[in-house]
């Protein structure tokens, strides 16, 4: 992939940057600015080079039309604070305001277009519709830099189609993400341990199938583990269960042998609530009227030992309901083990990255924290990502 340096002298050039600013909001307050901070190296490099920077990004899932709830106004404010300079916000995606805002830029200045998903063409399955939006985006710029790793697995106008229309390069975030994830998937230093959690096993079937051929050990926790326990014939009470996946999981367990490691105990609660009464029980003693909300202490120690002994570790998905302090111990133990290991560790974005920050860990303690949960999962699955493939020329 070409880098920003390959684009040549950018002074006075209009550079369109696709970033990922899909940050969590409480009203208009950003509760985690990690994705904005992750964009700073690329944006700063372009501004220092004298480029006129135009950023396009999405926030939430508006239904293809303007929705004030998903405006990028809070992002523009926070980005300006982090950059130490004003960030002009266009009031539309590619319309009159966008064109005027871009025209007003001087060298080394930056503007943010309004939420790209306010335009239904962005996510259209129709190539001509996406292409029409890409044409309008391309008309605003002289070059394109792809730096929104969280969307590179999507064939969308601002990710894929615009790269076909402008000189293009990968931003520093995308380059870092791809290099780190390929380090864990193409020729990992062994032992290679993968920790999978999160709610649904169905979201990770392809990943599991691929990793059974590549990883040395798969540690399974989170809500998805109860489908594995059910496949082994255990009672799982009212825990999260995908009954339609039990047979598939049985096949994985047979194929995997001792590669798949499941918890030996879990924290069972009366209900899904932060203050729910709970107890730690063995996996073959889950009460029929309780639900598992975390892995138990012995399981956390088992998983941590496996992680600390690995040379490469990829983690995607929390071990329990980490948002509730009573059920965060398993996730915290996994995160701490990643900090303690001498191996190369990857935190695979999404809830795992949120957990690291919520639980108070120093991000520098991890080898790499991904900004893209879905994109990192698809790379672990061995898929070709369209937003990466289009840059490889």
**21 labelled as ligand-binding?**
yes
20: annotated binding-site residue? yes
Q: Residue 251 annotated as binding?
A: no
Find out whether 50 is annotated in a ligand binding site. Answer: no
Count of beta carbons in the 10 Å neighbourhood of residue 9: 9
Which one, of 9, 175, 18, lies nearest residue 112 by Cα?
Answer: 18
Pairing of strands 291-295, 265-269: antiparallel
Helix (H) / strand (E) element for 302: namely: helix 297-308
The reply, when asked if residue 323 is annotated as ligand binding, is yes
- Rounded to whole angstroms, the Cα distance separating 17 from 106 reads 16
Please enumerate in sequence order all residues whose Cβ is within 8 A of that of 383, keeping only pairs 6 or more positions apart, or say none.
153, 206
Whether the CB-CB separation of 278 and 293 falls below 8 Å is answered with yes
Per DSSP, 105 falls in state -
Interacting residues of 128 by C-beta distance below 8 A, sequence separation 6+: none
What token pair was written down for 336? 């701490």
Single out the residue of 164, 153, 159 nearest to residue 348, CA to CA.
153
Q: Give the 3-state secondary structure of residue 145.
A: strand
Closest CA to 262 of 235, 287, 216, 296: 296
Helix axes 34-48, 73-83, angle to 10 degrees: 60
Is position 33 annotated in a ligand binding site?
Answer: no
Coil vs helix vs strand at 71? coil
12-26 b/e (C-beta count within 10 Å ≥ 16 → b): ebbbbbbbbbbbebe
Does the annotation list 34 as a binding residue? Answer: no
Residue 175 is assigned to a ligand binding site: no
Both tokens of residue 283? 């996996």
* CA 266 vs CA 134, 241, 284, 292, 295: distances in Å: 49, 15, 10, 6, 4
Distance set, CA 35 to CA 17, 26, 75, 203, 350 (Å): 14, 16, 10, 23, 11
Annotated binding residue at 154? Answer: yes
Q: Looking up tokens 């277009």, which residue turns up?
A: 113
End-to-end CA distance of the chain: 7
* Residue 61 annotated as binding site: yes
Q: Which residues are identified as catalytic?
A: 35, 200, 350, 374
Has 114 been labeled as part of a binding site? Answer: no
Say which residue the tokens 């609530």 belong to: 273
Q: Could you tell me which residues are annotated as the binding site? A: 20-22, 35, 58-61, 117, 154, 204, 292, 323, 349-352
Q: Could you tell me which residues are annotated as the binding site for substrate? A: 20-22, 35, 58-61, 117, 154
Q: Could you tell me which residues are annotated as the binding site for ATP? A: 204, 292, 323, 349-352
């Amino acid at each position: 992939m070409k880098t920003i340096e390959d684009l040549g002298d950018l002074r006075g050039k209009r550079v369109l940057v696709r970033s990922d600013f899909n940050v969590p909001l409480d009203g208009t307050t950003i509760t985690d600015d990690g994705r904005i901070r992750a964009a700073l190296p690329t944006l700063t490099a372009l501004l220092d080079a004298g480029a006129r920077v135009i950023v396009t990004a999405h926030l939430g899932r508006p239904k293809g039309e303007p929705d004030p709830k998903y405006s990028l106004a809070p992002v523009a404010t926070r980005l300006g604070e982090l950059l130490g300079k004003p960030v002009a916000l266009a009031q539309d995606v590619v319309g009159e305001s966008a064109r005027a805002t871009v025209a007003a830029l001087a060298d080394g200045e930056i503007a943010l277009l309004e939420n790209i998903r306010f335009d239904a063409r962005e996510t259209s399955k129709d190539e001509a519709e996406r292409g029409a939006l890409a044409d309008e985006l391309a008309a605003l710029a002289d070059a394109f830099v792809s730096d929104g790793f969280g969307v590179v697995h999507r064939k969308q106008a601002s990710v894929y189609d615009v790269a076909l229309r402008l000189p293009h390069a990968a931003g520093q975030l995308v380059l870092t993400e791809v290099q780190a994830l390929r380090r864990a998937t193409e020729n990992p230093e062994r032992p290679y341990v993968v920790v999978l959690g999160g709610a649904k096993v169905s979201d990770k079937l392809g990943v599991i199938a691929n990793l059974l051929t590549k990883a040395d050990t798969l540690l399974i926790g989170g809500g998805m583990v109860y489908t594995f326990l059910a496949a082994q014939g255990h009672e799982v009470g009212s825990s999260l269960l995908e009954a339609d996946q039990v047979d598939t999981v049985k096949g994985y367990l047979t194929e995997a042998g001792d590669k798949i490691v499941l918890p030996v105990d879990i924290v069972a609660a009366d209900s899904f609530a932060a203050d729910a009464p709970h107890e730690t029980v063995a996996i073959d003693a889950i009460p029929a009227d309780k639900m598992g909300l975390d892995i138990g202490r012995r399981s956390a120690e088992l998983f941590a030992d496996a992680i600390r002994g690995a040379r490469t570790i990829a983690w995607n998905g929390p071990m329990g309901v980490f948002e509730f302090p009573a059920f965060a111990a398993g996730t915290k133990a996994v995160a701490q083990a990643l900090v303690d290991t001498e191996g190369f560790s990857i935190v695979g974005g999404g809830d795992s990255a949120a957990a690291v920050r919520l639980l108070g860990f120093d991000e520098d303690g991890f080898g790499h924290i991904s900004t893209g949960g879905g994109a990192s999962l698809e790379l672990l699955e061995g898929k070709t990502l369209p937003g990466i493939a289009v840059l490889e020329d």
